[in-house]
């Protein structure tokens, strides 16, 4: 009973969580733009871009010549049918914000996203510190279902006891 | 006949009283999450060979088949004190990754964290302490690849003496850390530390 309930809530939460992560985490508004990851890099770094704008199985021609990386191809991927491509920022790239463009092979729709080039490493520099608060001890305290069952059992015992005492008082003989 | 009825009711009453008392006194016991043994904490050198690093791509999902974990990943930042933030506790099957750090599969140390429990009971990484060296961890990435890691060690660290550099420090190959709460529990201060899984990239495939 409890296991089923837990399984059901677990599944429901997983579905909700999956939706939550899939949709807005890196989301844009309706697949109209080009997502650039990482959005901030140092010269020499590899960058991946993806877009949902070209539809399922759609390919696109990418253009990173603004930052000196030239043309590249976006191929359809397993990830929700998004087209994905990669390029490497040349070591000679200068600091600044560059527009990366992709044009869908079908329909010729154009999408773009920004890439920031910095000269000092922007990511991974700040390491987390210390332990992580990933539990509250919910499995340690009394189990609420068990407590409820205990209370119910005691209620039954009380009812039975009262009834027997009544009998005895009436001289029904136990 | 009546006597038989009375006996039955008396028996039920006694049984109900006993089981009620047992249940309320915590009968079935609490379910402390499993903790790794000292042997699991020693990293096995000469284990599975490292695979070549993958280009950076944010992760979507983590799977650890041997402890039946299959959970979406959300991005995590840092708290004001500089510790790694955690996913919302109410979503018990949601894990998180440190978004400003290394993505799982690229060179460096990628960090994943999730709850061992919440107020309702066990959560996504409840069984993390039961993981064994050599187990596989798979991370689905947005570029359509699956990064496959092999577990090197599972250790428990006290919060008061947490080895930041060992857990979060840079690596020259693609590595992964998976963190949850553990290391003893006290009613006043909660869990006293963290269970940390150390793994490195040993393969990749497309989804």
> Does residue A16 carry a pLDDT above 80?
no
E strands, chain A, are: 35-37, 40-41, 46-51, 60-63, 71-76, 83-88, 96-104, 110-117
Instruction: Place B7 in a pLDDT band, splitting at 50, 70 and 90.
Output: confident
Which range is most confident: A125-134, B32-41, B113-122? B113-122
The pairing of strands B59-64 and B69-76 is antiparallel
**B135 beta partners:** none
Q: How far is A153 from chain B (nearest CA, A)?
A: 5
Evaluate if pTM is beyond 0.80: no
* Nearest chain A residue to B180, by CA: A134
Q: What is the pLDDT of residues B40-71, one digit of tens each?
A: 888 765 578 899 999 989 999 999 999 999 99
Return the minimum-mean-pLDDT range out of A6-10, A133-137, B115-119, B161-165.
A6-10
Mean pLDDT rounded to a whole number for chain B:
90
| Cα A100 to Cα A85: distance, rounded to the nearest angstrom | 11
Average pLDDT over residues A106-124: 81
Identify any residues that bridge with B175 across adjacent strands, giving them in sequence order.
B109, B200
ipTM: 0.77
| Closest Cα in chain A, distance from residue B83 (Å) | 5
Question: Average pLDDT, whole number, for chain A?
Answer: 78
CB B194 within 8 A of CB A132: yes
Q: What percent of chain B has pLDDT over 90?
A: 65
Residues A41 and A116: beta-carbon distance below 8 Å: yes
Closest by CA to B16, choosing from A152, A71, A77, is A152
Are A123 and B182 an interchain contact pair (Cβ–Cβ within 8 Å)? no
Chain B, nearest residue to A49 by Cα:
B143
Chain A residue numbers with beta carbons less than 8 Å from the beta carbon of B27 are: 146, 150
pLDDT average, residue stretch A20-38:
57
Cα separation, A141 vs B103, in Å, equals 36
B72 DSSP β-pair partners: B61
Confidence (pLDDT) at B29: 56
End-to-end CA distance of chain A: 38
Residues of B in contact with A124 (CB under 8 A): 100-102, 108, 170
Inter-chain CB proximity B83 and A130 less than 8 Å:
yes
Asked if residue B96 has pLDDT above 80, the reply is yes
The answer to whether B206 and B144 have CB atoms below 8 angstroms apart is yes
* Interatomic CA distance for residues B135 and B62, integer angstroms: 13
CA distance B193 to chain A (A): 6
Q: What pLDDT, on a 0 to 100 scale, did the predictor assign at position A22?
A: 40
Indicate if the pLDDT at residue A37 is higher than 50: yes
**Which of B6, B81, B185 is closest, CB to CB, to A167?**
B6
CB atoms inside a 10 Å sphere around CB A174: 12
Nearest to B64 by CA among B131, B112, B116, B129: B131
pLDDT tens for each residue of A56-75: 888 999 999 999 999 999 99
Give the integer Cα–Cα distance in Å for B10 and B12.
6
Bridge partner residues of B204 (DSSP): B147
pLDDT at A3: 52
CA A43 remoteness from chain centre? 29
pLDDT above 70 coverage of chain B, percent? 94
Minimum distance, in Å, between the CA of residue B186 and any CA atom of chain A: 9
Q: What is the DSSP string of A54-102?
A: T-TT--EEEE-GGGT--EEEEEE-TTTT-EEEEEE--TTPPSEEEEEEE
A-B contacts (CB, under 8 Å): 239
């Amino acid at each position: 009973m409890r296991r089923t309930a837990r399984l059901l809530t677990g599944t429901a939460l997983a579905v909700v969580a999956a939706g939550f992560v899939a949709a807005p985490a890196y989301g844009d508004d309706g697949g109209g733009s080009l997502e650039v990851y990482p959005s901030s890099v140092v010269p020499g770094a590899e960058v991946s871009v993806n877009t949902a704008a070209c539809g399922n199985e759609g390919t696109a021609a990418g253009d990173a010549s603004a930052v000196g990386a030239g043309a590249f191809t976006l191929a359809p991927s397993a990830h929700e049918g998004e087209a994905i491509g990669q390029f490497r920022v040349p070591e000679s790239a200068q600091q600044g914000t560059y527009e990366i463009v992709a044009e869908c092979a079908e329909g010729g729709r154009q999408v773009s996203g920004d890439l920031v080039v910095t000269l000092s490493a922007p990511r991974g520099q700040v390491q987390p510190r210390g332990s992580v608060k990933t539990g509250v001890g919910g499995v340690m305290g009394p189990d609420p279902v068990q407590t409820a069952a205990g209370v119910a059992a005691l209620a039954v015992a009380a009812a039975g006891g009262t009834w027997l005492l009544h009998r005895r008082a009436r001289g029904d003989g136990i | 006949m009546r006597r038989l009825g009375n006996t039955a009711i008396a028996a039920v009453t006694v049984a109900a009283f006993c089981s009620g008392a047992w249940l309320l006194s915590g009968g079935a016991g609490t379910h402390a999450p499993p903790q790794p043994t000292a042997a699991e904490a020693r990293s096995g050198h000469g284990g599975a060979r490292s695979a070549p690093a993958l280009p950076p791509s944010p992760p979507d999902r983590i799977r650890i088949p041997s402890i039946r974990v299959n959970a979406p990943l959300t991005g995590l930042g840092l708290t004001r004190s500089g510790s790694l933030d955690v996913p919302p506790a109410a979503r018990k099957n949601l894990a998180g990754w440190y978004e400003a750090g290394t993505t799982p599969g690229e060179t460096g140390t990628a960090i994943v964290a999730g709850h061992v429990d919440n107020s309702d009971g066990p959560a996504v990484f409840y069984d993390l302490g039961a993981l064994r060296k050599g187990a596989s961890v798979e991370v689905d990435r947005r570029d359509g690849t699956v990064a496959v890691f092999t577990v090197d060690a599972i250790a428990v660290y006290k919060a008061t003496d947490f080895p930041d550099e060992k857990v979060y420090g840079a690596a020259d190959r693609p590595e992964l850390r998976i963190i949850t709460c553990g290391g003893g529990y006290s009613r006043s201060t909660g869990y006293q530390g963290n269970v940390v899984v150390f793994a490195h990239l040993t393969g990749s495939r497309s989804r």
